[in-house]
Chains A and B, each alone.
Chain A
Amino acid sequence: MAEPRRQRSRSSGPNRAWAAVTSRVLAATFGGYTLTHVASILLVFAVPASLSHAVLAAMMLSFVIYCVAIIWCFATRSAGRAWLGMLIPTAVLALPAWWLTGGLTP
C-alpha cells in the first residue's frame, strides 16, 4: 500500500516513516482545524447577509475547507511542507480575521 511521499532522509528506518505519517496526521487534524476556523471566520465577511446568516453560511462551507486542508497534508511532498501549508495560511489569515472581529470577543 503506497504511503504519502516521504522526504529523503539520511536514515529512513521504519520509525522515521511512522514519525512522518504521524506528523502529517497532526498537521491535518489540528493544523487543518485551526486553518479552517480562521478561513471560515474571514469568509463570514465575504457573505452578503446578516451576521448570523453569514456565520451559518461559513459554517456550512467550513467542511470543504477542512477537507482540502487534510488532502493537502497528505498529498504534499513532505510532512514539513504539510505543516507549512497549515501554519503559513493560518498566520496570514489570522491577522485580518483578528482585526475585523475586533479581537476575539470574550
Chain B
Amino acid sequence: MTVLLWIPAFAFGYAGFALLALAVERHRRVLRPASRPWSPAVRRLLQIGGAGCLGLSLGTCAAMQGASTGLVSWTGLLTVGAFAVLGQISWRTAQHKAGR
C-alpha cells in the first residue's frame, strides 16, 4: 500500500521545481507568457513554496521507506522532477519561438 506514496512523493518534487522555475523571470516568460513579471514578494513566495514542496517530497519518501532509504529515493525523485520541468520549459520555449 505504501508503495503508492511514490506518486505524491514525485508530485511534490515536480511541483517544487516548477514553483522554483516560475520564480525565475526568464522561465516565467515562457511558462506563463500572459502574466506580468512577478513582484519580488511573489517571487520570494514561489521560492519558499517550491522549497516547501521539495521538503514535503522528502517527508513522503521518509514516511514510505524510513529516513535513510527515503533520503536516497528522494534524491532520485529530484532528478526526475527537475528533468520534467526542464523538458517542459524547453518544449514551451520551442513552441513560443514557433508561435511568433
| Direct contact between the two chains A and B in their complex (CB within 8 A) | no
User: Which residues of B are in contact with A by a Cβ distance under 8 Å?
Assistant: none
User: Which residues of A are in contact with B by a Cβ distance under 8 Å?
Assistant: none
